[in-house]
A and B are shown apart, each in its own frame.
Chain A
Amino acid sequence: MTKTAHDFAKASAKALGDRQSRAILHKAIGHIRVLRQRSVNAMPDFAERQARAVAVRDKTLAKLPELLEKLEASVTAVGGRVHYAETAETAATLVARILSERGAKLVVKGKSMVSEEMGLNEVLEAAGIEAVETDLGEYIIQLAGQRPSHILAPALHVSKEQVSDLFARKFGRTSTDIPEMTRIARDSLRQKFLAADAGITGCNIAIAETGTVTVLENEGNIRLSGSCPPIHIALMTLEKVVETLADAAVVLDILPPAATGQTLPVHLSFFTGARREGERDGPREMHLVILDNGRSDILADPKLRSILRCIRCGACLNVCPVYQSVGGHAYGTVYPGPMGSVISPLLKDNPGDPRQPFACTHCAACSEACPAGIDHPALLQELRRRVSETETDLPVAAFSLLARHPLLFGGAAAVGRLFDPKLREVAAVAPDAPVGRFLRCREFPGLARPFSRRFKALARRLKRLQGGRA
């Protein structure tokens, strides 16, 4: 996998022009937000749950190396094997090797963003292994040859008509009735579950003291992937561990309500190692792959490490005005939205557009929604500062110069006034010049009457509005 040169500005401009996808996205996001709000309102102790979760995440991060060693010992004790991978590429190669050595030809995959991060499907395909996504949304995306657009709802941007056409092409069977389309997918995937040589799942929470992989879902595909095939490979990023079952309970208290507005998902599975003596099903072999991919460096960074508290609930995506406008694909990275804008530039593989942190309005809806207490805007601000140290943005540099020299500022404003309010038209002559780029998506303030001249009148008006109070 190579680092992609992704242009968020171009991709988002294209996304903004896609009215159909935007309408679907708005409807879906609105729906999730209502569910979540209803769930939070029904929990009078939500703030307490949140505080407990933040404390558990911070405690975990402070003991991370110790907990990972404990996790490895526990997994090994229950018949599992633990593998570490430095990069996404080595992780994917490792998984492919485990499967190839065992002659696996067909693999079922539960929804896992880590496997997306690894680019696993492509690597398995190259190794001659058929990897089938089994979450309905992921399956739709895989059949369509696309990438997920949301970390919880991968096919959020696809309309039912598009799914119907897709199924007609792939299965020769279709419907425009959503329950019937779901049944078509169920029938197709069931054959895969039953015939699969191995199952691959993600891991929402790994429990160090017991060696348990905890996964949450509504469909049951992860439960099937971890239960039916003779081999189970679970994938996790290294910060997903907690110390005890009690710590896991604290995270589980907040994750489903924050993610989908549920108290618990339909399926909450605790997989602990391989099948035991005398058991007739469950995997004979269980592997846990722990991926770093830049996260150990993030932990060493005091200003940014709090992003590792993230429990991947997707709440920040669902309230972000930028995400809601452009959708997940515009980001060009596995993780979109506010959490993605923070973590993607810090990952070793596919960091996306280095200027991604600038796509933020600083409205702080994300930090308010985050159950893990992450202050995304502050982290994005820090990332912006670092980007600006390495590259010069002409309009910003020019403004910075003017702001530090009042005389120059006054002079520039006077020049601007000559053109106001036609400045936008003047800038359109050279749309790629700094001023043109700056004005492309900004309302320029009126310059005809400078603020210094309007100040007295504004002050009088304010006083009137305040009922004469000083």
Chain B
Amino acid sequence: MKTRAKNAILGRLRAATAAGFPRVSAPTIPRKPGGGVADFERFAAVLTTLGPTFEMARTPEEARQALTAYLAANDVKTAVRWDHPDLDAVSAAGVLAEAKVAVIAPEELPERVCPGLAAVDLGVTAVAYALCATGSLVMAAAPGRERGTPLVPRLHVAFVARSRLVPDLPTMLERVGQGPMPSALNCVSGVSSTGDIEFVYVRGVHGPLAVHVIGLDWL
């Protein structure tokens, strides 16, 4: 049954294309590769127009202070974090422990991760890339880097190292294409939003209600 449908469809498509298609009429204009800017100034300027907040940390100590202040200001009692070298560089786990935040480490997650994160206040992640042209955070799923961490909790904090900045989406896809694709690659530009009721723009629909980005200037 399955093979029959496949063979019938592909058979028709082969017959349709065998006659030869006219040559592509439009010229394939090559993209100017990576001509864009990749710096924190551009990234933060675009990012903050989309809803997230941004602060720059010039040293690991400044990054820790930034996270500590954020936890206090947002009444964070519970958190979940990724296992990532950029988080180790700022001792994120230590900061959370000092602030008496109950942290679920990746290895302690329940069988069904998302329901287990429903009541968690904060997800702490790093990024695979950050796109300066669009203020986007690009997160790749991997063991210890769950999809639910930046998605289900009420708040999301992302640490963005300078070395993760790239000019734009095509540059990022070019780099991603040099290795195997992760099971999920999420490019997030701003805070979840909708205009479905009378085109009135509302932020905070399904994902986190607020996103805060801490730039790691030295990394």
Question: Residues of A at under 8 Å CB distance from B?
Answer: 24, 27-28, 31-32, 48, 51-52, 54-56, 58-59, 61-65, 68-69, 78, 83-86, 90, 134-137, 140, 153-155, 158-160, 163, 178-179, 181-183, 185-186, 189-190, 193-195, 210-212, 218-221, 223-224, 226-228, 230, 238, 244-246, 248-250, 252-253, 262-282, 290, 292, 296-297, 299-300, 305, 373
A276 in contact with B26 given A24-B198, A194-B115, A218-B193 (CB within 8 Å): no
Q: List 27 A-B contacts (CB under 8 A).
A: A52-B28, A65-B13, A136-B205, A137-B196, A140-B196, A153-B195, A178-B197, A183-B204, A185-B205, A190-B206, A194-B115, A219-B194, A224-B152, A226-B184, A250-B31, A264-B189, A266-B190, A266-B191, A266-B207, A267-B207, A268-B186, A269-B186, A273-B183, A274-B183, A277-B143, A280-B106, A281-B109
The answer on a CB contact under 8 Å between A280 and B188 is: no
For B10, list chain A residues within 8 Å (CB): 65, 68-69, 84
- Looking at A85, A153, A270, A271, the one whose CB has the most chain B CB atoms below 10 A away is A270
For B184, list chain A residues within 8 Å (CB): 226-227, 269-272, 282
The answer on a CB contact under 8 Å between B17 and A299 is: yes
Q: Mark B91-125, 1 if CB is under 8 A from A, else 0.
A: 00000000000000010010011110010000000
Shortest Cβ distance from residue A26 to the other chain B in the assembled complex, whole angstroms: 11
For A224, list chain B residues within 8 Å (CB): 114, 151-152, 206-207
The answer on a CB contact under 8 Å between B147 and A281 is: yes
Q: A61-B17, A178-B202, A271-B183 are in contact. List 4 more A-B contacts (CB 8 A).
A: A52-B26, A134-B206, A135-B196, A270-B186
For A193, list chain B residues within 8 Å (CB): 114, 206
For A55, list chain B residues within 8 Å (CB): 24, 26-29
- Looking at A85, A193, A266, the one whose CB has the most chain B CB atoms below 10 A away is A266
Cα distance, A54 to B195, chains bound together (Å):
29
The answer on a CB contact under 8 Å between B183 and A245 is: no
Cα distance, A221 to B177, chains bound together (Å):
26
Total number of B residues with any Cβ neighbor in A under 8 Å = 72
- In the complex, the chain A residue whose C-beta lies closest to that of B185 is A270
For B25, list chain A residues within 8 Å (CB): 54, 58
CB of B9 closer than 8 Å to a CB of A? yes
The answer on a CB contact under 8 Å between B182 and A272 is: yes
- Identify the stretch in B37-45, B58-66, B71-79, B166-174 within 8 Å (CB) of chain A at 4 or more residues: B166-174
The 6 closest A-B pairs by CB, nearest first: A278-B143, A137-B196, A300-B16, A281-B113, A220-B207, A228-B114
Number of A-B contacts (CB under 8 A): 270
For A249, list chain B residues within 8 Å (CB): 31, 169-170, 173-174
For B50, list chain A residues within 8 Å (CB): 266
- In the complex, the chain B residue whose C-beta lies closest to that of A226 is B184
- In the complex, the chain B residue whose C-beta lies closest to that of A273 is B183
- In the complex, the chain B residue whose C-beta lies closest to that of A248 is B173
The answer on a CB contact under 8 Å between B189 and A266 is: yes
Cα distance, A275 to B199, chains bound together (Å):
36
Question: Residues of B at under 8 Å CB distance from A?
Answer: 2, 5-6, 8-10, 12-17, 21, 24-29, 31, 50, 106, 109, 112-115, 118, 131, 133-134, 136, 141-144, 146-148, 151-152, 169-170, 173-174, 176-177, 181-200, 202, 204-207
Cα distance, A299 to B10, chains bound together (Å):
12
Shortest Cβ distance from residue A73 to the other chain B in the assembled complex, whole angstroms: 13
For B187, list chain A residues within 8 Å (CB): 264, 267-270
Cα distance, A160 to B199, chains bound together (Å):
10
A181 in contact with B197 given A227-B147, A246-B177 (CB within 8 Å): yes
Cα distance, A277 to B176, chains bound together (Å):
20
The answer on a CB contact under 8 Å between A296 and B151 is: no
For A218, list chain B residues within 8 Å (CB): 192-195, 205
The answer on a CB contact under 8 Å between B6 and A84 is: yes
For A246, list chain B residues within 8 Å (CB): 170, 173-174, 177
For A183, list chain B residues within 8 Å (CB): 204
The answer on a CB contact under 8 Å between B134 and A263 is: yes
The answer on a CB contact under 8 Å between A297 and B186 is: no
The answer on a CB contact under 8 Å between A300 and B12 is: yes
Cα distance, A268 to B12, chains bound together (Å):
33
A31 in contact with B199 given A228-B148, A238-B13, A270-B185 (CB within 8 Å): yes
The answer on a CB contact under 8 Å between A48 and B197 is: no
- Looking at A158, A189, A253, A279, the one whose CB has the most chain B CB atoms below 10 A away is A279
Cα distance, A452 to B198, chains bound together (Å):
52
Cα distance, A264 to B66, chains bound together (Å):
28
The answer on a CB contact under 8 Å between A244 and B177 is: yes
Shortest Cβ distance from residue A254 to the other chain B in the assembled complex, whole angstroms: 12
Cα distance, A274 to B195, chains bound together (Å):
31
- In the complex, the chain A residue whose C-beta lies closest to that of B149 is A281
Shortest Cβ distance from residue B215 to the other chain A in the assembled complex, whole angstroms: 20
For A274, list chain B residues within 8 Å (CB): 183
A27 in contact with B192 given A194-B118, A220-B207 (CB within 8 Å): no
A253 in contact with B170 given A24-B198, A276-B183 (CB within 8 Å): yes
